[in-house]
Amino acid sequence: MSIKPIRTLQDFQRATQRAVFLEDEMWPNFTVLEKNKDRSDELEVLTILMEIYKKENWPFYYADPIETIRHHMREWGLKLIDFADIIGCMELAESILSKTQPLTLKEVWKLYKEWKIPARLLLHPYPLKTEKQRKMKPFNLN
């Protein structure tokens, strides 16, 4: 097993290819893991290194969908009213941005079509505020 640090996109692509090869080799019979501990260890280490590289180089990949929307709004100088125009109503826009109401697939689709935010960034699960948290502080975009 010869694992190297992942420093560049090319390193990441090589690691991805190797990880896919190892997964294919072991699928669907995972008893191979027990027989070939070196390969399963290599896959585990590659996966960890790939996750670290993604977090450092593509932080948006891991962002919560509401933070992604807020970031997009800040970057493009958009206001709550602009978001409400996409969503359909001001109250719903406020409740989505304050995390008291979840995004629906229909809303994700609208944001993808209108604002070109990749849907994969909006489909991550995120926690909604509890009743107690809702009463504590109103929505603030800034």
Structurally, what CATH architecture does the domain formed by 62-136 represent? Orthogonal Bundle (1.10)
What tens digit of pLDDT does each residue of 4-63 get? 899 998 999 999 999 888 888 777 666 555 667 788 888 899 999 998 988 888 766 667
Is pLDDT of 134 > 70? no
Percent of the chain with pLDDT over 90: 46
141 compared with 11, residue with greater pLDDT: 11
Q: Which of 131, 120, 132 minimizes the C-alpha distance to 58?
A: 120
What tens digit of pLDDT does each residue of 12-21 get? 999 999 988 8
Q: In the prediction, which pLDDT does 26 show?
A: 75
Token reading at 47: 């996966």
Sorted by where each begins, the domain ranges of the chain are: 9-57, 62-136
Classify residue 12 by burial, with Cβ atoms within 10 Å: 0-12, 13-18, 19+. middle
